Chains A and B, each alone.
Chain A
């Protein structure tokens, strides 16, 4: 779906809660920079003209000490720029503090980057490719990961970006303030079609968004699909409700602090969940044995996000109704030796991650 090309403009649209502050800081910086550039430029031109060597001008006087200078000037032109700079630092820091604290009521949307497309999953089940529909005036939190190399989810109109890493979750949040369509760009070089890994954010009114969401994916919410995965993979055999099984309790556990066997503690967040599924022996909950098998290569990145949504929902008494059977997509579970069904025509070029001993087959056909 292509949008009409935007006409020539000097500034991107200001469409998020962060944009005014970032634009304000930018204006300050431009003013300060213009002032000093012009000052320096003026000084050197002025001195070059005013003190131009005249014919017959005499030889300069001898100097005695190893420095002509002025301590007062040196201090002045160190301290004033430093002070002006520290304003830039502090202002930028305050923006980032704000940007790093997504509000608790933020709507979660999951982004998976893959060469060269963006796959978006809404909690309620709707999915999209290279487009992100969001409601205006609501807080949106993107939880993102990559299936291959580092990408970056950049929305200039929102003034936000964050790298999207393989094997990890990164987040960015924003509150769209203006209905419209805005560019999404991949902003971390990722290979051949890096400049084609673009899309559109569609900011809709609240009603339009609800209407759009209702079209959904027909497969149920992410949490429901995650429950189905949970059952298929047999997680519940050990992770029984109440935690009296061989494995720690998951119900109501997401978001809490977990004590580990080595005395440290960790927050039960998306990254911890993912790590515990792929590298289950990296962190062991206090009081439990090191017996969980790894599911590395058996769950796709999108399936992982569904599982995470399900585990998140276990904390919610109004969560998934047990017993409701829904099938997960065939792409979520990978059999050994097979790649997940790709959603585009892209042939899998990346290392085959399906087995724990991935490696040699991935090199076939690639130079050196």
Chain B
């Protein structure tokens, strides 16, 4: 078997087991996409449970879902979409090597993400106050088929809770990246962590885009009899 010496430029960010920067970036990108696929499957289990129970108990789901606050949900959706915009702008700034702009957009993303989490916390508190948390003290005022209403709320907390956990993790990662960016770690030639984090953040946004209609919008005009 013939062999040859493979020459490559050793930039400081190139790990020794890769042959080129391009290969390294490629590998990172595929890796992140694969990770996002696993996340789709992870949320998928909950989506399956949601569809199964909504199909089985439509009256309970319809009236219970009216208990979510449409305006807060819409506000959160807007906030998150804006944060995806700022994140995309951050990646773009990174690709141009513009450090200040990069840090600015990252911080904006962080603030918007924080706003989302704050609204969520308020919503959860509101549910607590109205005893809409499944368990011993659950009450669903005016709900049809109240015996099955806890299922909706279990899924509400499970799905938004899992989503919020992902946002929290993203929050922490984002802080780390902001610090690294402020210290000038990223250049126009290498900003892979920013790019990869961008993918992750967009994914978390997309999950919410699915959650919002399912939990807040469907059957909003449902007027059940009681």
Contacts and interface: CB of A to CB of B under 8 A. Distances in A.
Interface of A: 262, 278-279, 281-282, 284, 289-290, 294, 296, 356-357, 359-360
Nearest to B145: A281
Query: Which label, helix, strand, loop or mixed, suits the secondary structure of the B interface?
Result: loop
Interface string B200-226: 000000000000000000000000111
B147 A357 contact: no
Interface string B136-170: 11100000111110000000000000000000000
Contact of B146 (A281, A284, A289, A360): A281
Interface in B96-113: none
Interface size class of B (residues with CB under 8 A): 10 to 19
B224 A282 contact: no
B147 A289 contact: no
B59 A357 contact: no
Given A262-B58, A357-B138, A359-B135, A290 B144 contact: yes
Given A357-B136, A357-B137, A359-B135, A282 B225 contact: no
18 contacts: A278-B147, A279-B145, A279-B147, A281-B59, A281-B146, A281-B147, A282-B57, A282-B60, A289-B225, A290-B225, A290-B226, A356-B147, A357-B136, A357-B137, A357-B138, A359-B135, A359-B136, A360-B135
A296 B60 CA distance: 16
Nearest to B62: A262
Contacts of A279: 145, 147-148
Contacts of B58: 262
Contacts of A282: 57, 59-60, 145, 147-148
Contacts of B145: 279, 281-282
A38 to B, nearest CB: 42
Candidate in A279, A281, A284, A357 with the most chain B CB atoms within 10 angstroms: A281
Contacts of A262: 58-59
A294 B147 contact: yes
A128 B64 CA distance: 43
A360 B136 contact: yes
A294 B148 CA distance: 12
Contacts of A290: 59, 144, 224-226
B169 to A, nearest CB: 26
A321 to B, nearest CB: 35
Contacts of A294: 147
Nearest to A290: B225
- Which 7 pairs, one residue from A and one from B, show the smallest C-beta to C-beta distance? A281-B145, A359-B136, A279-B147, A360-B136, A282-B145, A290-B225, A281-B144
Contacts of B148: 279, 282
Contacts of A284: 59
B221 to A, nearest CB: 15
Contacts of B135: 359-360
B138 to A, nearest CB: 7
A360 B137 CA distance: 10
A265 to B, nearest CB: 14
Contacts of B224: 290
B133 to A, nearest CB: 12
Nearest to A362: B136
Nearest to B135: A359
Nearest to A288: B225
A281 B144 CA distance: 6
Nearest to B138: A357
Nearest to A279: B147
A351 B13 CA distance: 58
A289 B225 CA distance: 7
Nearest to A296: B147
A277 B148 CA distance: 13
Contacts of B137: 357
Contacts of B225: 289-290
Given A282-B60, A357-B136, 12 more contacts: A262-B59, A279-B147, A279-B148, A281-B59, A281-B60, A281-B146, A281-B147, A282-B57, A289-B225, A357-B137, A357-B138, A359-B135
